[in-house]
């Protein structure tokens, strides 16, 4: 009986405490002058790890029909932005506050960023001067021609392997599984110089290891929530496979860093079998910081892992979205195939039997525009979150608002990409909007002006923010490698709304 009274008292006290905090946050929200809404649990809180899967399961039918989240559940779902598009902003405005008993939603939130350091601090998790230092060392590898060439060549090889596996698997082939294997195998070589043969992640297991390098990377990625949320001492007891993958990958990185440092110290040059990888490029850049602070081995591990995680997941999802979009839009598919055939024809006329990064990358204008458009409609990176370190001024038009300390600030990329003020008819997928001088004024529902047709046909306008040296090389070489695309079957409708497409993505499990 006494235990029941104690528990009841604690529950009542907790509820009262939360209510008082909520009232306090509401008063603070009102003082900012911004519109606000209430939620019992916010996506940044630990309880959201429970409400997220429950609500996604309970409301799956509604989401599959493209209706978005109901207002009462929206902010209790992690990454609710994708399914919601602009619904919340249409209801509350371009900028609004979400108030919960846990607080209000431009330093990166430290508790969230710490989760991104399973192997060590990195360019994503850090802030301030240390972030700038990491950026100075880790950015150059992404503009190095030898690393980009390795990405291009290995992706082409992995596509050949994937295509061969499809010819044997027939109807049993899985697009999602094979694309994820392709990106995993490619990142294994690009990150560490370890090549994987075959469509399945595999490889010999060296002495002293229980998993191959590719298998350890796959294990870490598949069990990432356990690795990020659980302390290492609990990981082995709760999720043994996650602990095995984590331990194996850390051991591999330690060994590879040691090997590469030995090579650099001895002055041995890279050869054909020892091409530059992200690891070697980061170590090379790090050793050039003579007389200055250098990255520790732990920080090098943290950055290499973040490269692998970001490159693997974002690239695989981009390829999947692009592939499904091609299947649903025969007219876009035909234009992509025509451009690929034209580039191949020019390569053959030049006496080349394979496409190359140096000669052919810049010729894929429509393909680049297509990938940009797919990533606009289906953002691969959803929210960008920050935390105010102190009182922060926010200027909206002629109004000035004051955000209190430790307010979570979220940039809703999906809402920006679906805002008619930024993109005319944003739900329509039209790659040509990226081929004109002003993509934001391009209206896919109207006939093209003579100037727009000239810019599209002549290809004289640079695609905004596109350089040859960026991560599009990876997905682009995957889509462009085959001479001929899939047969032009399926819907003949000119446009399919993103709501309809969402339904198909949910239905196919991608």
String of DSSP letters for 274-324? S---HHHHHHHHHHT-TTS----HHHHHHHHHHHHHHHHHHHHHHHHHHHH
Please give the Cα distance from 415 to 382 (Å, whole number).
10
When pLDDT is averaged across residues 293-321 and rounded to a whole number, the result is 84
When pLDDT is averaged across residues 202-214 and rounded to a whole number, the result is 79
Percent of the chain, pLDDT > 90? 18
- Nearest CA to 102 out of 50, 38, 51 is that of 38
- The single-letter DSSP state of residue 433 is G
Please give the Cα distance from 383 to 76 (Å, whole number).
15
- Other beta carbons within 10 angstroms of residue 60's beta carbon come to 11
- Residues forming a β-bridge with 384: 411
Q: Does 272 have pLDDT greater than 80?
A: no
For the record, the structure tokens of 318 come out as 């981009």
Residue 91 makes CB contacts below 8 A (sequence gap 6+) with 71
Over residues 326-381, the pLDDT tens digits come to 999 999 999 999 999 999 999 999 999 888 888 888 889 999 999 999 999 988 87
pLDDT confidence tier of residue 68, bands split at 50, 70 and 90: confident
Please give the Cα distance from 339 to 335 (Å, whole number).
6
Please give the Cα distance from 286 to 288 (Å, whole number).
5
**Least confidently predicted of 74-78, 173-177, 213-217, 271-275:** 271-275
Q: Does 290 have pLDDT greater than 60?
A: no
When pLDDT is averaged across residues 378-387 and rounded to a whole number, the result is 78
Cβ-based burial of 18 (10 A; exposed 0-12, middle 13-18, buried ≥19): middle
* CATH number, span 113-319: 1.10.630.10
pLDDT mean across residues, the chain: 79
**Least confidently predicted of 199-203, 296-300, 433-437:** 199-203
For the record, the structure tokens of 247 come out as 């331990």
pLDDT confidence tier of residue 470, bands split at 50, 70 and 90: very low
Q: Are 441 and 71 in contact (CB under 8 A)?
A: no
pLDDT confidence tier of residue 186, bands split at 50, 70 and 90: confident
Q: How many residues are listed for the chain in this entry?
A: 510
pLDDT confidence tier of residue 479, bands split at 50, 70 and 90: low
Q: Does 281 have pLDDT greater than 60?
A: yes
Residue-level pLDDT at 289: 59
Over residues 134-174, the pLDDT tens digits come to 887 777 776 667 777 888 888 888 888 888 888 777 777 78
Residue 128 makes CB contacts below 8 A (sequence gap 6+) with 107
Where do the structural domains in the chain lie, given as residue ranges?
2-105, 113-319, 327-380+416-508
Strands 392-396 and 97-100: unpaired
- Residues forming a β-bridge with 400: 395
Q: Does 486 have pLDDT greater than 50?
A: no
Tell me the C-alpha to C-alpha distance, in Å, between residue 88 and each of 27, 73, 96, 418, 499: 22, 12, 9, 12, 16
Please give the Cα distance from 180 to 158 (Å, whole number).
11
Please give the Cα distance from 482 to 466 (Å, whole number).
23
Q: What interhelical angle do 365-377 and 472-480 show, nearest 10? A: 120
Instruction: Measure the CA angle with vertex 85, ends 64 and 433; round to 5°.
Output: 110
pLDDT confidence tier of residue 10, bands split at 50, 70 and 90: low
- Total-model pTM: 0.76
- Nearest CA to 333 out of 461, 492, 464 is that of 492
**By three-state DSSP, how is residue 199 classified?**
coil
For the record, the structure tokens of 111 come out as 């508790």
**By three-state DSSP, how is residue 202 classified?**
coil
Please give the Cα distance from 237 to 72 (Å, whole number).
37
Please give the Cα distance from 305 to 307 (Å, whole number).
5
Instruction: Measure the CA angle with vertex 310, ends 87 and 257; round to 5°.
Output: 160
- The single-letter DSSP state of residue 72 is T
Strands 408-412 and 399-403: unpaired
**By three-state DSSP, how is residue 365 classified?**
helix
Strands 103-104 and 97-100: antiparallel
Residue-level pLDDT at 384: 76
Residue-level pLDDT at 8: 67
Residue 383 makes CB contacts below 8 A (sequence gap 6+) with 79, 81, 410, 411, 412, 413
- Nearest CA to 179 out of 281, 64, 324 is that of 324
Cβ-based burial of 266 (10 A; exposed 0-12, middle 13-18, buried ≥19): exposed
Q: Are 317 and 181 in contact (CB under 8 A)?
A: no
Over residues 30-65, the pLDDT tens digits come to 888 889 899 888 887 778 888 999 999 999 999 888
Q: What interhelical angle do 330-349 and 365-377 show, nearest 10? A: 150
Q: Does 132 have pLDDT greater than 60?
A: yes
Beta strands in 88-218 (DSSP E): 97-100, 103-104
- The single-letter DSSP state of residue 204 is -
């Amino acid at each position: 009986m006494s235990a029941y009274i104690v528990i009841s008292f604690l529950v009542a006290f907790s509820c009262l405490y939360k209510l008082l905090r909520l009232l306090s946050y509401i008063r603070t929200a009102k003082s900012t002058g911004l519109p606000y809404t209430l939620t019992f649990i916010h996506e940044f809180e630990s309880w959201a790890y429970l409400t997220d899967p429950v609500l996604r399961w309970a409301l799956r039918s509604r989401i599959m029909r493209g209706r978005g989240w109901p207002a009462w559940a929206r902010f209790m779902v992690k990454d609710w932005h994708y399914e919601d598009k602009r619904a919340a902003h249409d209801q509350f405005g371009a900028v609004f506050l979400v108030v919960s008993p846990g607080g209000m939603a431009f330093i990166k939130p430290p508790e969230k960023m710490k989760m991104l350091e399973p192997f060590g601090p990195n360019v994503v998790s850090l802030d301030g001067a240390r972030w700038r230092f990491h950026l100075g060392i880790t950015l150059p590898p992404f503009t190095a021609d030898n690393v980009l060439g390795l990405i291009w060549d290995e992706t082409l090889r992995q596509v050949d392997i994937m295509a061969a596996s499809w010819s044997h698997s027939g109807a049993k082939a899985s697009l999602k599984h094979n694309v994820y294997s392709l990106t995993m195998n490619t990142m294994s070589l690009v990150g560490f110089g370890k090549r994987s043969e075959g469509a399945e992640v595999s490889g010999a297991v060296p002495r002293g290891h229980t998993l191959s390098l590719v298998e350890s990377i796959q294990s870490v990625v598949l069990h990432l929530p356990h690795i990020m949320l659980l302390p290492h001492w609990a990981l082995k007891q709760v999720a043994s496979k996650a602990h095995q993958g984590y331990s194996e990958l850390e051991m591999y990185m330690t060994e590879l860093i040691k090997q590469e440092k030995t090579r650099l110290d001895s002055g041995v040059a890279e050869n054909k079998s020892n091409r530059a990888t992200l690891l070697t490029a980061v170590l090379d850049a790090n050793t050039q910081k003579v007389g200055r602070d250098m990255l520790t081995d732990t920080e090098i591990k943290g950055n290499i892992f973040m490269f692998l995680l970001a490159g693997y997941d974002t690239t695989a999802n981009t390829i999947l979205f692009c592939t499904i979009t091609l299947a649903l839009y025969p007219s876009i598919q035909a234009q992509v195939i025509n451009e690929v055939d034209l580039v191949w024809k020019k390569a053959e006329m030049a006496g080349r039997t394979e496409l190359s990064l140096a000669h052919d990358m810049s010729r894929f204008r429509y393909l680049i525009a297509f990938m940009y458009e797919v990533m606009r409609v289906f953002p691969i990176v959803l929210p960008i979150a920050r935390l105010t370190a102190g009182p922060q001024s926010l200027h909206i038009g002629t109004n000035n608002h004051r955000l209190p300390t430790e307010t979570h600030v979220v940039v809703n990329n999906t809402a920006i990409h679906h805002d008619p003020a930024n993109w005319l008819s944003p739900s329509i997928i039209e790659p040509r909007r990226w081929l004109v001088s002003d993509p934001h004024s391009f209206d896919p529902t109207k006939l093209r002006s003579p100037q727009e047709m000239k810019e599209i046909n002549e290809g004289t306008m640079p695609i905004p923010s596109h350089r040859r040296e960026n991560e599009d090389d990876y997905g682009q070489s995957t889509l462009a490698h085959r001479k001929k695309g899939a047969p032009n079957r399926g819907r003949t409708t000119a446009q399919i709304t993103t709501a309809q497409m969402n339904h198909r993505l949910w239905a196919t499990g991608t």
